[in-house]
Amino acid sequence: MKILIADDSKLLRDRLSQLITELPGEHITYHAKNGYEALEHIKEFKTDVVILDIRMPGGGGVEALQQIKKQPSPPFVIMFTNYPYPQYKKKCEQFGADYFFDKSNELEKLLTLLQTLDQNSFEAIGNSSI
């Protein structure tokens, strides 16, 4: 499974990438530091899953989400943020995010979801977290 981690924190990208490689199965992770880079990487690497931060300099996750979900056969998108406010969650839901997790206390949920996605079809998972 090809996973793109788009976050302006290199420390978070590296740590999340390390945790993902420890999950069962084969995973390739790519990194982007903003929404613009994320869009380029999705086209180039044809990722299956995108983990997006909401606020990033040089192009935020919400704007990237809008563009990603306009593509034919878009990747599965997980919003992973320090801003888990209802207005952001609602906006992300409107733009097609598949899941929305709080960085401060839902890392395990994110990792469990990734493991589930790797073992099942994306359609079977749905978007029960939004």
What pTM value is reported for the model?
Answer: 0.90
Q: What is the pLDDT along the chain (130 residues), one digit of tens a residue?
A: 999 999 999 999 999 999 999 999 889 999 999 999 999 999 999 999 999 999 998 888 999 999 999 999 999 999 999 999 999 999 999 999 999 999 999 999 999 999 998 877 554 455 555 5
Domain 18-118 in CATH: superfamily?
Answer: Response regulator (3.40.50.2300)
Domain ranges of the chain: 18-118
Side chain identity at residue 18, one-letter code: Q
Q: Of the candidates 92, 94, 91, 3, which has an alpha carbon nearest to the alpha carbon of residue 41?
A: 3
Q: What count of residues does the chain have?
A: 130
